[in-house]
Amino acid sequence: MKFFIDKGTTIYLNQLLNAAGVIEDYRDIRFIIKQGLVSVNEKNTFQQRKIIRAGDVVKFKKHHIKVLEHEPSKEKPDNLHPTPGIRHGKVNIWKTKPLKIEIELDKEIKVISQKIHEKLLSSNSTLSLAESCTGGKLQEIITSHSGCSKYFIGGVVSYANKAKTNILKVDKKTLEKYGAISKETAIEMVKGIQQLLGTNYAGAITGIAGPQGGTEKKPTGTVHIAIYTKEKIIHNEYHFSGDRETIRKKSALSFFKLLSESI
């Protein structure tokens, strides 16, 4: 399949898949990209907003999209006629249109993480994080604030049980008895990261972001968050709805709300 863009312009990967008629629903596009099912120039990518330029080749299953450019002011060659499964045409300006819930979540996360940033700076406190289902999202958000190095010591993405036991010292018996998605595991994770890095505050999060992995007792969207403070350890259990990315964002927002209340 040949897909044309105007000379000197670019298009995001998720927009290309939609405009080329490969997948219409942006939720489905987000899912397949997050699963690493799309490649750009023979390399799998997990970035839905990856910039695609003329010359790039995008592949998903049987779809092979060759991105070409043309001069907006010139006619296309006569031999380029639309055929079934192929779309020709110029792309002028592309703007992402995220779902309303995503916009609201992003705004809330930005505001509350800024408040936490200011609180930790003013109190000369330190913070460490242990993440599982969020896969480093909390740390990404924290480090987006300039000056965070004054309080953020570091974190661990303990995705597999092996990382939880080897790095955070979560007891294997805890995992066997309660599972990775549990209050008990979240509390041991937060104790582990706090002891490892010796911070004033610590946070841990473990859950099922989906769409696979859920059970009747622990459905997709089940998330456990633990916060360590000098006085106590706080734990909350949540049950979120939405796709994988929405659940991860809701988890991050809930974590920051709980942390903000604890500082």
Percent of all residues in the chain with a pLDDT value above 90, rounded to a whole number = 66
Does residue 190 contact residue 216 with C-beta atoms inside 8 Å? no
* Residue 99 pLDDT level (bands cut at 50, 70, 90): low
Cβ-based neighbours of 262, under 8 Å, separated by 6 or more: 201, 227, 229, 234
Across the range 106-132, mean pLDDT stands at 97
Residues forming a β-bridge with 12: 51
Q: Residue range 77-90: average pLDDT?
A: 41
Relative orientation angle of helices 244-262 and 26-34, to the nearest 10 degrees = 80
Q: What is the pLDDT of residues 197-240, one digit of tens each?
A: 999 999 999 999 988 888 989 999 999 999 999 999 999 999 99
Residue scoring higher pLDDT (139 or 245) = 139
Q: Give the tens place of pLDDT for each residue, 173-192.
A: 999 999 999 999 999 999 99
Q: What is the pTM of this model?
A: 0.64
Cis check: omega of the bond before 211, within 30 degrees of 0: yes
Give the whole-angstrom CA distance, residue 240 versus residue 134.
Answer: 13
Q: How far apart are CA 177 and CA 17, in angstroms?
A: 44
Distance separating alpha carbons of residues 43 and 48, to the nearest angstrom: 14
All structural domains of the chain, each given as residue ranges with its CATH number in brackets, are: 2-70 (3.10.290.10), 100-262 (3.90.950.20)
- What is the phi/psi pair of residue 213, to 5°? 105, -15
Return the half-sphere exposure (C-beta side, CA atoms, 13 A cut-off) of residue 169.
Answer: 8
The pLDDT tens digits of the residues spanning 30-77 come to 888 988 899 999 999 999 889 999 999 999 988 999 999 876 554 444
For residue 143, which of 135, 132, 152 has the smallest C-alpha distance? 152
Please identify which residue in the block is written with the tokens 């010359």.
55
- Where do we find the tokens 């008895």? 177
Calpha distance 133→207 (Å, rounded) = 5
**Residue 72 has what pLDDT?**
53
Asked if pLDDT for residue 261 goes beyond 90, the answer is yes
CB atoms inside a 10 Å sphere around CB 178 = 16
